[in-house]
Amino acid sequence: MPPAPPPSPASRLKVAGVVLFYIAAALSMVMANKWVLNTTETPLFFLTAQYFIAVLLFLLSDALRLLPDRLSFEMRVSKGLVPMVGLSVLGLSLSNYTLKYVDASFYQVARGLVLPFTVCISGYMLHTRPSLPILSSCALVTAGFFIGVFLDGTPISMVGVAFGVASSTITATHSVIIKQSLKIVNDSTILLSWYTNLLGGLVLIPIVLLVEGGEVVKLLFNVEELSTPPGAMSPLRAFIYGSIITGVVGFLMSLASLLSIKVTSPITHMVSSAVRGVAASLLGVWLFKDIITSGRASSIAIILLGSIYYTWVKAKESEAAKPAEYERVRMTDLEAGQQRPPPE
């Protein structure tokens, strides 16, 4: 019996659609988060709302039979996912605090050490030795980070930078742990996202009450509406709209990850990463009046160049290891740790 023919490549229109969706989704997430965090003092409550909006959308999609896997809840699975959920909640919380204290255009720089930390932690935990080109790409990204933080004359919040470095460390660890977590849910990214959103929201409830209880009460009762300038949106309305936007977009990104596995390649990842980085900086200037100096622009460019070089090297190493196969990679690889890293 002759072997089955290889699957036909995805159409250019489908690839372009997935790439454009990820660019738009990632940008809308960052900008909506920054918009809300500029008007409220409740980043953890904001994250909790995002989690539960995604949970409601998961339940609705499951009821309408729109998901490839039926949703379930098992204590055994929940216990096995505790490390991953804990890292996810901590990483996203630190990420929100980073965005609260730094400009939207500087956010990419503040979290610029995700790639070097991921390579280091992956090498330590998985007992792998990165190649010299991989280390070179990490050195390039690290140089871009230090240029943006220490050599640029623009005043920046070192608190925000500290949150960014901590967030990068947690995200890098999460990206290594998530591969083991997928095995617990039979490699179902849908179930993994379902458990992450549900358990993450539940974990944050007592933390929000302890840390942000007073601010949450002020927000929900719209106490600051009287001090809001005429024509401006109140903090409560900004919170509601921002939560809906980011919750829906985050849910759609979970579903789109299934399609991206089939239609995206390392080249599309390189292009989309570069476009997202540049677009985020430009939107920060336009929407929030951020200032991009030559030093900050150089820092962003170097970090993007190092990330693109890393992706290209990993693609070449995969081709050399498996010359008979062409492996598709997820658009979300190397991002905020929401998917598994490329195989070492």
Domain for residue 163, yes or no?
A: yes
Q: Give Cα separations from 320 to 99, 131, 169, 181 (angstroms).
A: 39, 13, 30, 28
pLDDT of 332: 46
CA atoms within 13 A on the CB side of 329: 22
**Helix 12-39 and helix 266-288: axis angle, to 10°?**
30
**What average pLDDT does range 197-213 have in this prediction?**
95
Each as own residue / partner, the long-range contacts of residues 94-97 (CB below 8 Å, 24 or more positions apart, any chain) are: 94/163, 94/164, 94/166, 94/167, 94/170, 95/163, 95/167, 95/171, 95/336, 96/33, 96/37, 96/43, 96/44, 96/46, 96/47, 97/43, 97/160, 97/163, 97/167
Average pLDDT over the chain reads: 81
Distance of CA 268 to the CA centre of its chain: 17
Considering only residues 48 and 266, tell me which one the structure prediction assigns the higher pLDDT: 48
Phi, then psi, of 195 in degrees rounded to 5: -65, -40
How far apart CA 243 and CA 239 sit, in angstroms, is: 6
pLDDT band, very low/low/confident/very high, at 268 (cuts 50, 70, 90): low
pLDDT band, very low/low/confident/very high, at 338 (cuts 50, 70, 90): very low
Q: Which amino acid is at 131?
A: S
Domain for residue 341, yes or no?
A: no
Torsion over CA of 74, 94, 215 and 249, rounded to 10 degrees?
-60
How far apart CA 216 and CA 209 sit, in angstroms, is: 8
Domain for residue 327, yes or no?
A: no
Contact call for residues 152 and 299 (beta carbons, < 8 A): yes
Asked if pLDDT for residue 196 goes beyond 80, the answer is yes
Considering only residues 296 and 13, tell me which one the structure prediction assigns the higher pLDDT: 296
Domain for residue 51, yes or no?
A: yes
Q: What is the C-alpha R_g of the chain?
A: 20
Domain for residue 137, yes or no?
A: yes
Domain for residue 2, yes or no?
A: no
**What average pLDDT does range 147-156 have in this prediction?**
86
Pick from 75, 99, 49, 52: nearest CA to 239: 49
For the chain, give the percent of residues with pLDDT over 70: 79
Considering only residues 337 and 111, tell me which one the structure prediction assigns the higher pLDDT: 111
Which letter does DSSP use for residue 3 in this model?
Answer: P
Asked if pLDDT for residue 142 goes beyond 70, the answer is yes
How far apart CA 249 and CA 243 sit, in angstroms, is: 10
pLDDT of 315: 81
Asked if pLDDT for residue 329 goes beyond 60, the answer is no
Contact call for residues 299 and 46 (beta carbons, < 8 A): no
**What average pLDDT does range 182-207 have in this prediction?**
92
**What average pLDDT does range 60-67 have in this prediction?**
91
Which pTM value belongs to this model?
0.81
User: What residues make up the domain containing 196?
Assistant: 12-221+232-321
Which letter does DSSP use for residue 149 in this model?
Answer: I
**Number of compact structural domains in the chain:** 1
Asked if pLDDT for residue 228 goes beyond 70, the answer is no
Asked if pLDDT for residue 21 goes beyond 90, the answer is no
HEC string of 162-200 equals: HHHHHHHHHHHHHHHHHHHHHHHCCCCHHHHHHHHHHHH
DSSP alpha helix (H) spans, the chain? 12-39, 43-63, 75-80, 82-101, 107-110, 114-126, 132-146, 158-184, 189-220, 235-263, 266-288, 294-321
Tokens 């900008």: give the residue.
31
What pLDDT digit, counting tens, does each position of 105-120 carry? 888 899 989 889 989 9
Token pair for residue 30? 């960052």
Domain for residue 7, yes or no?
A: no
Token pair for residue 15? 């690839």
**What average pLDDT does range 69-75 have in this prediction?**
91
Domain for residue 241, yes or no?
A: yes
